[in-house]
Each structure stands twice: as C-alpha cells, then as structure tokens.
Chains A and B, each alone.
Chain A
C-alpha cells in the first residue's frame, strides 16, 4: 500500500471551516505555551546535568512543574512602573514582542493532510506563497518590542541593552535571511509546505551498487550545508542566546532591556524570548531538516508509512527538541563573546561567506543545466583560476610590533605611586604550586646496587 497525495499543496489552504480555523489557532497558542514551559524546564535540567548538579527538583514530579509555578506567580505580583517611563510605549512594547512571537507558528507545517472531525485538512494553520517572508517579517517586527521597551523604560541600562539588542538582531537577521536564499534556490518555492515537500526524497543516482541505486540526500541541511551552518549561528544571534546573549550581559547591563519591567509584563518578555527560540528551531527543522517527514532509515519502512497523517507531529516535535538541545548545549559550554567580536563575526564573516555561497550555488546549478560540456569546464576552470589568484595576491596583514622591554619599563615608571601591581616584565610564568607538591612527594628511584647512601 502506498500513501501518496498526502502532501498539502497551496491549493489545500484557505478552505477550512471557521471552527476548524479557530481550533487550529487555539491549538497553536496552547502548543506554544506548553512548549515554552517545557523548554524552560528542559533547559534548566540539561544545564544542571551538564554542571553535575540536581537542578530544580522540588515542585511537582521531579521538579517538572517549576516553570509553571513561576509563570503562575508573576501575575500575582505588584506592577511597578518607573516614573520616568513613557507609559503608553512601556505598555505596548511587551504586547508587540509577544504577538510577533506567535505569528511564526501560523505557517509552520506540523504534518501532512489529516482528517479532523471528518474534514480533510493540512496539519498547519495556514500557508501562503511567501510564507518564509512572513516569518522573517515577524522576527523583524519583534525588534520593535525590544528597542521600544529599552527606550520607554526611561533608564540608562535598559536603553543601552535595547540598542545593543536591536543592532545585534538586525545584523544577524541579514545573515539569516541570506542563508535561507539557498533553500529557495534549491526548493523553487517560498511556501513552507512546498519546501517540506521538496525535501521528500532526493533523485536516484544513475549508477548502482549491485543493482541498488542510492538516493541523493534530500535534507537541505546536507544539500546546502554552508547555509545550514550560517542559519544555525545566526539563529543563536537572533534569539539573544548564549554565547551571543550580550543584551543581557549581567555584568555590563544588569538585565538588559527588561530591567525595569515587573509582574506580568516581565513574564511577557520572558515568554517572547523562549517562543523566539522555539520559532527558530521550528523554522530550522522545516527548512533544513525535512520538516515533519520521518528521517531517512525509518522512511524506508513500508514505503513511508511513518509519514502518514498524525505521525508527522512526532517527527516534527522531535526535530524541534533536538534543535533546542543544541541551544542549551551551547549555553552550557561556551563563554559569552565580546560585543565587537560578535558584530565582526556577523558582518565580516557570515555575510560575505553567505553572498559568495549563493553565487557559487547559482553557478553550480546553472552549469549543471548547460548541455555542452566544454563551457562548463571553462567556467569551473575560470572560477578556480580567479580564486587562486585572489588567494596568492591577497595582501598580508602586518600586526603591531611587540613593545620592547625598555618601552615597558618606561611605561611602568610613569605609573603613579601605589598603582596596581603588575606581573614581571619578562612574563615568566611562576611555577605552579601544585607542580612543586607533586615533585616534592616523589622520591628518587634507587636503581641497581652501586653506591647507594641508604645502605651505609
């Protein structure tokens, strides 16, 4: 038995009965709220395990209700709005941040066509020909929530945090948007359900191993690997997560843009932040990891029976959780970057690499189509020659020369009395006390007979 024609196309959307649309809207909200509560606990548990400590374990079974209790507590708290705050904008900012966070999931496909109460409908709220653009627009809009909250607080650190955050988000949004271009080029569509459909299966090779025609990999994470790497990095930057969590660098900016927020509005920002994380994971899973489709070895079972109807939800959520685990792992492992290093990475590494990769991919795809073999080889040879010339003629960078000992001593003499003690100028590292103890405990070995003092 084959399960064909279950992929929704754009023609399948926009025909739902009104109560079905309402059910889907409520389901999206419920799913996002539950996923947020779960992700907070997931993060705390995993980070605790990586740091070899128990983590939250008091509220509910094994502490799994902790984030629910935290969320329940916040609306009961008194709200303190600082006098310097701009009241209207101060109120609007969390609403913008929260609402924009929910939009993305409207166009995320959770699965193929299913039947709900007898209606055949795609397991996706809605889809439009420019669905990915809608996602990018929603993430751009959420920058407003952050920059306005920083501005409206009427306080120094939130203002700086909001500015930093907006600069960071727009920088990484450029890299993110350009990394998705390669997906459009390969899939030939911008609708999310179309992109998932395009990742259904690679073309079969025209050579064989003992009669077996291997299939080309179909996930865009493999087909357009550089794009996936750039997407993953910029997703972390876009969501202000460690190691790029500079807007919330506690030692520099207190709490960042939400320092002056309290009670439910604080919860709103917290919610928006975690939903943003879930959003980029879901978008990554959809665009690069095959969406709701079952991963490769399992997809061979009975002509893809595991892709059928509600099974899609399992694979989709599994992929999202794997993505989220990556976020948490990064937070537990990497220290925070400095702001200038971070911006340099975005503008000087990710962006140029992205542009070059798009052009290379376009070139490859065009040469593959060209019927005459000669032109193709000429083009490839030309590109290689240009690249080699560029590599050899690239001017070498001269670093600043190290200051001499005399210069350093002169500098030292100019310091006022009672300055902070400096390390020795020759920069000799003092021997480690641990090393001394180890060598002190060791006794010299007595080898052979000879003249040994202990025998006397």
Chain B
C-alpha cells in the first residue's frame, strides 16, 4: 500500500470489500427469508402498477433519450478536457493564450448545443 498506485489500491480494496459485504448480505437474506413461501398462482407475474399487466413487458420510449445520451457524451468529453486545463491554466508559462484557446474550444462545443437547441431536440413535446 505504498507508492503512487498505493492510493488506488486502497480504492480497489474498498470496491472489493463493498462487493463482499453485498454478497454476504445477499446470502444472509437467502438464509433469513421464508424458505417455504406460499405458492399462490400468478405470484411471479409483474407487479407493474398493481393491476393485471396489459401487453408485453416493453414500452416504446422516445428517441429523445438517445439524443440526450449523445449530448451527454459531447459534454462529458468536454469536461474531461476542461478539468486538467482548469488545474494548470494560471501557471505563468501559459499566459492569456491558454484562456483564449479554451474559450474557442468551449465555443465550438457550445455550437453543438446551440445546433441541438435550434433543431428542437431539447424540447420535450
């Protein structure tokens, strides 16, 4: 647990312990829950909204969810480039040009948002 990757190893340990806790909890649940439950008919059908389910288990979803996912990728990538820039942009060796360049980069991506806006992708109905 030392060296540069030591901190990451601790993070990994946390994930492993978390998964172990859940596996343990699920097995405890299996032991504790009723072992011979009432075999009522239709018990394992969907609950849905309390009434008998109508139709299949799929619903048609709006295509907009897909477009929002695309926009998310656009801005998630933008943030990935913004974060390291934000940490070091004010070091003396960069000067004002770093800010101007990032302004241009953000403007190009904002253009993407503007395009989606004008195409009425952001309007829900």
Report A's interface with B, CB cutoff 8 A.
13-16, 18, 21, 25, 28-29, 75-84, 91, 94-95, 98-99, 102-103, 106-107, 125-128, 130, 133-134, 140, 153-157, 159-160, 163, 166-167, 170-171, 173-174, 177-178, 181-182, 184-185, 188-190, 254, 259-260, 263-264, 268, 339-340, 343-344, 347-348, 351-352, 355, 358-359, 362-363, 365-366, 369-370
A81 CB → nearest B CB, Å:
7
User: Can you list 21 A-B contacts (CB < 8 A)?
Assistant: A75-B28, A75-B29, A82-B45, A82-B46, A98-B22, A99-B22, A125-B14, A126-B7, A155-B57, A156-B57, A159-B61, A160-B59, A167-B69, A173-B72, A177-B75, A178-B75, A263-B29, A340-B125, A351-B113, A355-B110, A362-B89
Q: Give A260 to B55 CA distance when docked, in angstroms.
A: 17
Partner of A181, one of B4, B79, B96: B79
Q: Are A156 and B122 interface neighbours, CB within 8 A?
A: no
Q: Give A1 to B125 CA distance when docked, in angstroms.
A: 65
- Which B residues are in CB contact (< 8 Å) with A78? 33-34, 37
- A25-B17, A78-B37 are known contacts. Are A359 and B103 too (CB-CB below 8 A)? yes
| Residue in A closest to B29 when the chains form the complex, CB atoms | A264
A125 CB → nearest B CB, Å:
6
Q: Are B86 and A347 interface neighbours, CB within 8 A?
A: no
Q: Are A125 and B10 interface neighbours, CB within 8 A?
A: yes
- Which B residues are in CB contact (< 8 Å) with A157? 48-49
B68 at interface (Cβ–Cβ under 8 A)? yes
Q: Are B53 and A156 interface neighbours, CB within 8 A?
A: yes
- Which B residues are in CB contact (< 8 Å) with A15? 1-2, 6
Q: Are B33 and A84 interface neighbours, CB within 8 A?
A: no
Q: Are B99 and A80 interface neighbours, CB within 8 A?
A: no
Partner of B47, one of A91, A127, A260, A268: A260
B53 CB → nearest A CB, Å:
7
Q: Are A347 and B99 interface neighbours, CB within 8 A?
A: no
- Which B residues are in CB contact (< 8 Å) with A344? 122-124
Q: Give A97 to B49 CA distance when docked, in angstroms.
A: 24
Q: Give A7 to B68 CA distance when docked, in angstroms.
A: 42
Q: Are A259 and B89 interface neighbours, CB within 8 A?
A: no
Q: Are B58 and A160 interface neighbours, CB within 8 A?
A: no
The size class of the interface chain B forms with chain A is 35 or more
- A133-B83, A167-B65, A263-B29 are known contacts. Are A370 and B46 too (CB-CB below 8 A)? no
Which of chain B's residues 23-50 have a Cβ closer than 8 Å to chain A?
A: 25-26, 28-29, 32-34, 37, 43-50
Partner of B15, one of A103, A174, A177, A260: A103
A295 CB → nearest B CB, Å:
26
Q: Give A95 to B122 CA distance when docked, in angstroms.
A: 33
Q: Are B44 and A80 interface neighbours, CB within 8 A?
A: yes
Q: Are B87 and A189 interface neighbours, CB within 8 A?
A: yes
- A254-B48, A359-B106 are known contacts. Are A184 and B83 too (CB-CB below 8 A)? yes
Q: Are A347 and B113 interface neighbours, CB within 8 A?
A: yes
B117 at interface (Cβ–Cβ under 8 A)? yes
- A21-B1, A75-B32 are known contacts. Are A28 and B58 too (CB-CB below 8 A)? no
Do most interface residues of chain B lie in helix, strand or loop, or is the interface mixed?
helix
Q: Are A163 and B61 interface neighbours, CB within 8 A?
A: yes
- Which A residues are in CB contact (< 8 Å) with B10? 14, 21, 25, 106, 125-126
- A82-B46, A171-B72, A366-B90 are known contacts. Are A14 and B3 too (CB-CB below 8 A)? yes
Q: Are B18 and A99 interface neighbours, CB within 8 A?
A: yes
Q: Give A398 to B46 CA distance when docked, in angstroms.
A: 48
Q: Are B124 and A340 interface neighbours, CB within 8 A?
A: yes
Q: Are A170 and B7 interface neighbours, CB within 8 A?
A: no
Q: Give A163 to B44 CA distance when docked, in angstroms.
A: 24
Q: Give A340 to B26 CA distance when docked, in angstroms.
A: 38
- Which A residues are in CB contact (< 8 Å) with B75? 174, 177-178, 351
| Residue in A closest to B22 when the chains form the complex, CB atoms | A95
Q: A259-B47, A344-B123, A347-B113 are in contact. List 14 more A-B contacts (CB 8 A).
A: A75-B33, A78-B33, A78-B34, A94-B22, A159-B59, A163-B65, A173-B72, A173-B76, A174-B72, A190-B87, A263-B33, A339-B124, A362-B102, A366-B95
Partner of B99, one of A128, A259, A366: A366
Q: Give A94 to B114 CA distance when docked, in angstroms.
A: 37
| Residue in A closest to B68 when the chains form the complex, CB atoms | A167
B79 CB → nearest A CB, Å:
4
Q: Are A362 and B99 interface neighbours, CB within 8 A?
A: yes
- A21-B1, A84-B46, A134-B11 are known contacts. Are A14 and B6 too (CB-CB below 8 A)? yes
- Which A residues are in CB contact (< 8 Å) with B57? 84, 154-156, 159
Which of chain B's residues 53-99 have a Cβ closer than 8 Å to chain A?
A: 53, 55, 57-59, 61, 64-65, 68-69, 71-72, 75-76, 79, 82-83, 86-90, 95-96, 99
B26 CB → nearest A CB, Å:
6
By Cβ-Cβ distance, the 3 closest A-B pairs, closest first, are: A340-B124, A14-B6, A264-B29
Q: Are A102 and B83 interface neighbours, CB within 8 A?
A: no
- Which A residues are in CB contact (< 8 Å) with B46? 82, 84, 153-155, 260
